[in-house]
Amino acid sequence: ATLSTRTASCNMAAPDADSTPSSDAAPLPVPSDGESVASLSAETSARVLKQVEFYFSVSNLPRDKFLRAEMEKDASGEGFVDLALLCSFSRMRQVLSLTAPNCAIPTSAVRAVAAVLRTSKELVVTPEDDPTPRVRRAAKIEDLKAAESEADGRSVMAKPFPFDTTVDALQTFFADYGNVNAVRMRRHQMSKDFKGSVYVEFDSEATAKAVLEKASVEPGLIFEGAKLDLEFKLSFLDRVKAERLAR
């Protein structure tokens, strides 16, 4: 579809040498003055849907103070968030191949994303005639603390990983062992450098337990030649707390 754009253009990232573009549609083009065609490939559409559903999921929303604050700003009280804001998040910029960090998000891109999100059962998007599309979670999370606690109960801590590891590589790796809700790279508080360890949230405590059992049997879980150490996240946190108190 041809959509008008009222924003400054953003540069697209160069495609990875190993990437295989979808044959059914071109990637999001660089917006130019006047008209701009926004066409998301099937692969990009799937990544957009997964990413925005994650933002509003029980795995993320209880921990995401910024997003909850934006939801509270909605005058209707329904928790709608400006979709252009979500598209400006660094992860979404990567998904949409919009690499210039300070440029405005093209109107055509926001509308293309809105069209994809309208297929979601987890989200509600404002109607197509809304000039500033907004999105919210379909069902309210009644108890944020309980949801966060349940997520911790189905999470494991894993290490060691190379410091240049990407979250995409981690998600792909752990998906071979069970359904993954989220991967969180642990970072140093000040420098934000990757610590080489991660929290992996699976779809259930049973899945997490099965992965731990597999890791305990030789040869275990191997990532880029290194055997991984795994334990339940809550057990890890209790152990770290006990070690600190014993010092």
User: What pLDDT is recorded for position 98?
Assistant: 86
Q: What is the pLDDT of residues 86-102, one digit of tens each?
A: 999 999 999 998 876 66
- The SS3 call for residue 29 is coil
Contacts of 81 (CB under 8 A, 6+ apart): 67, 70, 71, 74, 134, 135, 136
What are the structure tokens assigned to 236, written together?
Answer: 């890890």
- CA within 13 Å, CB half, 52: 37
The model carries a pTM of: 0.79
112-142: pLDDT as tens digits: 999 999 999 999 999 999 999 999 999 999 9
Strand partners, 185: 198
Main-chain dihedrals φ then ψ at residue 134, nearest 5 degrees: -130, 160
Q: Two tokens at 165?
A: 């590891």
